């Protein structure tokens, strides 16, 4: 496998080395292609990502990505959004599942849902007019874009509990009526039981009764917000992995950002990145390795070996090192 590795900015530079230590412990045949992309590079060189970088990413089988800083400057285009669009990775898949030894806001741990977030359009269209008096962003919902994400979610649901929740705001934004109709049709065609909820009351229901949900499909910005919110259910943003999937390319990254408030201190939780690596291993059909990695993470957490966000005293690199050593011993 040819793997592009992008540390990015802030804690990306800490969590990705920890994830690579874990990957290396498996001794798989992986050619790693390190790439410098992001805000730091922009500050240094005036360019955050180029056409050549996109080509280099496309030349790899998949990408492991840390996080990038995205300033609100209208002249700065987000590296992450550029990559998602250029590689047409339309499905942002964000599994929310508690690790049994980490407490979230509920005592119950019997929930396990997946947010399937449309990743290329909606309010992230990039079609904007920025002015002194009025600034607008065009919300784009297409039948094609809605159908491919709806079909992805319906297929995922049919491989799980056959239950799909469509989350939208079509009472106010009529553009969401198209999204809703296409999702309903896709679920019906796939024989998937489905219901829909308006995003505001859905956010309340999800945080209150997460065990009521399985696969959730929604538009770009709602998926962004609901995924960070879900972090509270499982013990924090340091534990949420994600995959960006398209027809050709796949890209794995933690849900969290560059966390400038804790960057450079070696205290960021690397598990979101390491669980993203686990998604990569599963995508690459390295199922045995994914299982061992899960076992290693459970062992570390049961020993209280974790970073301060989870109440522990370990550093980012301690966690990576423990997991790597566990894996090496397990494979001996
Ligand atoms: P953030 O996710 O970086 O941080 C939010 C909070 O969560 C912070 O208090 C941070 O310390 C904590 N946190 C995040 N990751 C953690 C980890 N691994 N371990 C422990 N605590 C962790 O969100 P933000 O502060 O709103 O954004 C910071 C920058 O990151 C912004 O420039 C934003 O645009 C960018 N961002 C990038 C990505 C990405 O690259 N995928 C995602 C979100 C935000
Ligand atoms: C995420 C991030 C990105 C998004 C930003 C950094 C562009 O918040 O991956 O959740 O909004 O998609
Ligand atoms: Mn986000």
**Active site positions, annotated:** 124, 169, 200, 224, 228
Q: CA–CA separation, 300 vs 100, rounded Å?
A: 12
Mean pLDDT of the 72-79 span: 88
Helix axes 287-302, 271-283, angle to 10 degrees: 160
Residue 209: which residues within 8 A CB-CB, separation 6 or more?
A: none
* 137-186 pLDDT per residue, tens: 999 999 999 999 999 999 999 999 999 999 999 999 999 999 999 999 99
Which residue out of 9, 69, 70, 80 has the highest number of ligand 2 atoms within 8 Å of its CB and is therefore the one to mutate? 80
Q: How far is the CA of 329 from the centre of ligand 3 (A)?
A: 36
Q: What pLDDT score was predicted for residue 100?
A: 82
pLDDT of 74 strictly over 90: no
Q: What pLDDT score was predicted for residue 12?
A: 98
CB 195 within 8 A of CB 147: no
Q: CA–CA separation, 149 vs 147, rounded Å?
A: 6
Strand partners, 96: 113
Sheet holding 193-198, edge to edge: 31-35, 2-8, 62-67, 250-254, 241-245, 91-96, 113-118, 215-218, 163-168, 193-198
* 86-114 pLDDT per residue, tens: 999 999 999 999 998 898 999 999 999 99
Q: Is the CB of 175 under 6 A from ligand 2?
A: no
Q: CA–CA separation, 215 vs 154, rounded Å?
A: 8
Mean pLDDT of the 312-332 span: 98
Direct distance between the N- and C-terminal alpha carbons of the chain, in angstroms, rounded to an integer: 23
Residue nearest to atom 8 of ligand 2 (CA): 224
pLDDT of 332 strictly over 90: yes
Is 162 strand, coil or helix? coil
- Chain-wide mean pLDDT for the chain? 97
CB 324 within 8 A of CB 22: yes
DSSP state of 122: B
Which bound ligand lies closest to the C-alpha atom of 9? 1
Q: How far is the CA of 207 from the centre of ligand 1 (A)?
A: 20
Q: Is the CB of 257 under 6 A from ligand 1?
A: yes
* 270-287 pLDDT per residue, tens: 999 999 999 999 999 999
Q: CA–CA separation, 214 vs 201, rounded Å?
A: 17
> Which residue matches tokens 């934004």?
173
Q: Which of 326, 319, 321 is nearest to 304 (CA)?
A: 319
């Amino acid at each position: 496998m040819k793997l592009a590795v992008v540390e990015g900015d802030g804690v990306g530079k800490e969590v990705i080395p920890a994830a690579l230590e874990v990957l290396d412990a498996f001794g798989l045949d992986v050619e790693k292609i390190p790439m410098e992309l992001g805000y730091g590079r922009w500050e240094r060189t005036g360019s955050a990502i180029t056409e050549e970088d996109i080509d280099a990413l496309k030349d790899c089988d998949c990408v492991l990505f840390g996080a990038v800083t995205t300033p609100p400057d209208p002249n700065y285009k987000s590296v992450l959004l550029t990559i998602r669009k250029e590689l047409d990775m339309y499905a942002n898949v964000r599994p929310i599942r508690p690790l049994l030894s980490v407490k979230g806001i509920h005592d119950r741990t019997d929930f396990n849902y997946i947010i399937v977030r449309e990743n290329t359009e909606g309010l992230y269209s990039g079609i904007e007019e920025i002015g002194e008096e009025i600034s607008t962003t065009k919300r784009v919902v297409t039948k094609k874009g809605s159908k491919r994400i709806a079909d992805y979610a319906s297929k995922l649901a049919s491989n799980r509990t056959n239950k799909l929740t469509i989350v939208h705001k079509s009472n106010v934004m009529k553009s969401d009526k198209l999204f809703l109709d296409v999702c309903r049709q896709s679920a019906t065609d796939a024989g998937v039981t489905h219901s829909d909820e308006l995003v505001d009351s859905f956010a309340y229901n999800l945080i209150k009764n997460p065990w009521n949900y399985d696969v959730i499909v929604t538009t770009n910005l709602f998926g962004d917000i609901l995924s960070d919110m879900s972090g509270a259910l499982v013990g924090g943003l340091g534990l949420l992995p994600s995959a960006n999937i398209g027809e050709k390319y796949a890209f794995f990254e933690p849900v969290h950002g560059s966390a400038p408030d804790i960057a450079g201190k070696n205290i960021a939780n690397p598990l979101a990145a390491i669980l993203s690596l686990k998604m990569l291993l599963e995508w690459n059909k390295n199922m045995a390795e994914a299982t061992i990695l899960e076992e290693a993470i459970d062992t570390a957490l049961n020993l209280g070996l974790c970073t301060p966000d989870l109440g522990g005293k370990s550093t980012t690199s301690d966690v990576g090192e423990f997991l790597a050593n566990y894996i090496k011993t397990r494979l001996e």
